[in-house]
Structure 1
């Protein structure tokens, strides 16, 4: 694995860990202010909308464990990267065990020397 691929994979691991913390204050710093996210429940533009959508998910799925697997880097440059992967989640919805999964595509950009999420598209 190249140094760049290892750096980007480490970013995705931090993103996955931040998501699993269920702490929006750990997730938001990994996203650029003008990001756009596409989820199954709709599109979200900017940190306010994206943060709200993520917080609603945290509230709806208790004890959620989110996992990214089969990560593939489609584009890697010094300042931009695109990856695709499969994701899965388990947790409690209305007190009952539930799980799901799907496919993800992310655009990651380097801003002020730090990798951040520019776009996320999750589909089931």
Structure 2
């Protein structure tokens, strides 16, 4: 698979709200930064994803406006917009922002090693 295919698969995995679909796309040393903190390593990242999945019911997640800033045989960097909507505590909620993902290729497989999500620029 290409980095582009992995990021598309990641978008679909997030929309499924199933950690078992997300985990194979993550590097064991993954580092993820959300608005509520930075989470390092597969176990910490698993915990925050499962918590997020549990708090948002019927979530729809979309990635758009992808810009591949760098792609080599072993690394790739992508910037994008993300948007989500779903039900939190019985109320429809939505949000979005800008994301950056760094992918590495090891053992002939692309994995996400870093993801940083933040607000849209003002």
Report the TM-score range of the alignment, normalised by the length of the smaller protein: over 0.9
Aligned to 1:82: 77
Match of 2:36 among 38, 41, 65: 41
Structure 2 residue runs without a partner (length 5+):
none
The 5-angstrom pairing of residues 61-100 of structure 1 reads 61-100=56-95
Deviations 1:64-101, CA, capped at 9 Å, x for gaps: 11100000000100110001000000100111111000
Q: TM-score, normalised by structure 1?
A: 0.93
Q: Which residue of 1 aligns with 2:103?
A: 108
Task: Give the drift of 1:21.
Answer: 1.1
CA RMSD of aligned residues (A): 1.1
CA distance in 1, matches of 2:77, 2:101: 6
SS of aligned partner of 1:16: helix
Task: Kindly report structure 1 stretches of 4+ aligned residues shifted beyond 3 Å.
Answer: none
Separation in structure 2 between the aligned mates of residue 100 and residue 38 of structure 1, nearest angstrom: 16
Aligned length: 119
Q: 1:65 & 1:31 partners in 2: Cα distance?
A: 21
Distance in 1 of aligned mates of 2:58 and 2:87: 6
TM-score between the two structures when normalised by the length of structure 2: 0.94
Show structure 1 runs of 5+ residues with no match: 1-5
